[in-house]
A = this chain, B = another copy of it.
Amino acid sequence: MNIGEIARRSGVSRSTVSYALSGKRRVSKVTQQRIQAVIDELGYRPNATARALKEGRTRTIGLVIPPAGRRLTDMQLGFVASVVDAAGRADLDVLLSPSGGEHDRSFERMVGGKRVDGVVLMEIRLEDDRVTRLRQTGLPFVGIGRTNRPEEMSWVDIDYETLISRCVHHLADLGHRRIALVNRSAELVAAGYGPGHRAQTGFARAVAERGLDSVQKCCADDAQSGVACVEALLGEHPGLTAIATINEAAMPGMYRALEQAGLAVPRDFSVAGVAAQHWAENLHPPLTAADVPADELGARAVELLIQRIADPATPHLNLLLAPAISLRGTTGPARPRDPVS
């Protein structure tokens, strides 16, 4: 079932059918109707592959997500959902590539094989081979996140450095003197994951500015690791009264460990973080956090990408968000731990 068959049955040429469909050339009303009748009868739809070959574009964007095996955080999920949603609104399809490091087969198929018109890249590292590869091919792409040389690409990102710094200042304002940073997983940070490093930077800066005692810890992205992490922190640092974190997925476990240690939040212990708005609101208790508008970010990334696809010569655009901290009741005045009971 192809355009030739429709043409034959309608008694016209293939080009006429094509034009009847696209409207790029006037077609007489009668032939138009005759063609439409045949199309409806046979349920014909143009072959997208042939069209893509002819037009030189696939009307598809690639979405590179963290590699298989790792569970997506709520924020990442929000990115994916909003990218897919925004693409759909623009009648673009989304091809998924779960790939992390270099030489990933699905990534290479997508990029090398020109399967997509552009790419949205998630979980970018400070040095990122995928960015290098994409720049080399000239395929339009937009990062949700950025590398060490952000001026070389288009991206949207969260200003983790500023946000974690604000968390620390907020906690310091409440009188906390010993604060811990709970980061993402050690592997991720070791691999040069941007937010992990920038959170460290912002934390270190704010802690220095306020002259606080501090400790940093990496923690895998799950509840159990959150429990272990906080247990360790409490054990090793008796004076600790507050945590700042960018690790959403570990939060439920962190709460649990505090509870089991007999520490009430925010009476005995404060927690502030950076998290997807939806997630922060639905935690129990709701987390005082810089609310990352994950949905908006994905949509903006797609907008930028569509722009770059339309005109690859567009200068690179960036969007660095530093959403305000929403107070939700997990932070309060510092109170020494282990009071003489």
* Residues of chain A having any CB pair with chain B under 8 Å: 43, 45-53, 58, 60, 63, 68-69, 71-72, 77, 81, 84-85, 88, 91, 93-98, 105-106, 108-110, 112-115, 136-137, 222-224, 252, 256, 278, 282, 284
Contact = CB atoms under 8 A, between A and B. Distances in A.
A68 B95 CA distance: 16
Given A95-B95, A252-B282, 5 more contacts: A43-B112, A49-B114, A50-B53, A63-B96, A68-B85
Nearest to A89: B68
B114 A48 contact: yes
Contact of A109 (B93, B98, B114, B223): B93
A63 B50 CA distance: 22
Contacts of A81: 68, 71-72
A60 B97 CA distance: 12
Nearest to A50: B53
A57 B52 CA distance: 14
B77 A105 contact: no
A108 B45 contact: yes
Contacts of A108: 45
Given A85-B98, A93-B95, A96-B94, A46 B113 contact: yes
A49 B112 CA distance: 11
9 contacts: A49-B114, A77-B77, A84-B96, A88-B105, A91-B105, A93-B95, A95-B95, A223-B282, A252-B282
